[in-house]
Structure 1
């Protein structure tokens, strides 16, 4: 069995939504949504590889440590599962109550939301 290169599990700049125009195109042309009471994933199909961006406001998640923890868990899930995800530009939006979740609950929520998004994207983008 050959070793897996670290690059394939990285999170380089090419996999991130960085500019305001990147975010604007997703907001203007949402193809798929995965809502929950504590977070919302919005996505738009693209022609390359899946990309991820975050909107987690101080109003909804007060502590910077909580915002960083949420982003770290989400980036880690995305990084390890990017090969399974369709080519989408994804925005992860935090809502009130997200910081109240334990680590296990947060992992479960992120996994569930990305699976829901993937399932809906495959269904919607085929038609």
Structure 2
């Protein structure tokens, strides 16, 4: 399959089945309630990029949790919103073991399509790395 994630190097081909099972995005790794989203937004620790903005707040768990905000003003079609959410979930899922115990909200700020998904992934990885600064607050 040309242009797949395996060929681009985003996901390794040699990952064992056990490793892939650890890459799941279970319910415990998600922000689900309005209060959880509000507390992260009110903490006011965020990093911006061209396509996304990442808000972070330390949590008292042993793992990171993530929520996604995609507005209809930014991405008008459901197809575009679903692509954005899949892209963000995949980056979080494959890198969640490197992210400290923080609650993260990823907000899509600018429309993107398949042609620049790799740029968005790189930007999101950089912003997730920068979100470690919020731990000191």
Q: TM-score, normalised by structure 1?
A: 0.82
> 1:64 pairs with 78, 87, 90, which one?
78
Unmatched 5+ residue regions in structure 2?
Answer: 1-15
Distance of 1:104 and 1:85 partners within structure 2:
27
Runs of 4+ in 1 over 6 A off after TM superposition: none
Equivalent in the alignment of 2:108: 94
> 1:103 pairs with 114, 118, 121, which one?
114
Distance of 2:84 and 2:75 partners within structure 1:
10
Q: TM-score, normalised by structure 2?
A: 0.76
| CA separation of 1:3 and 1:69: change in aligned 2, threshold 3 A | closer
Q: How does 1:25-104 map to 2 (within 5 A)?
A: 25-31=39-45, 33-48=46-61, 49-95=63-109, 97-98=110-111, 101-104=112-115
